[in-house]
Amino acid sequence: MAAGLLVLDQLTKAAILRRLHFGEEQVVVEGFFKLVHWGNTGAAWSLFRGYNDLLALVALLALALLWWYRHHFEVGSLPGQVAFGAVLGGIAGNLLDRLRVGHVVDFLYFYLPRPDGREWGFPAFNVADSAICIGVATLFWLSWRAEPKTRSAPAAGAPADHAPRPPTPPAPPDP
Contact 38, 111 (CB under 8 A): no
d(CA 15, CA 147): 43
List the 33-40 sheet strands across, edge first.
Answer: 25-29, 33-40, 104-113, 119-121
d(CA 40, CA 29): 23
Catalytic annotation present for 129: yes
Of 53, 97, 106, 116, which one is the catalytic site residue? Answer: 106
Of 9, 97, 116, 129, which one is the catalytic site residue? Answer: 129
45 — phi, psi (to 5°)?
55, 30
Positions annotated as catalytic residues are: 106, 129
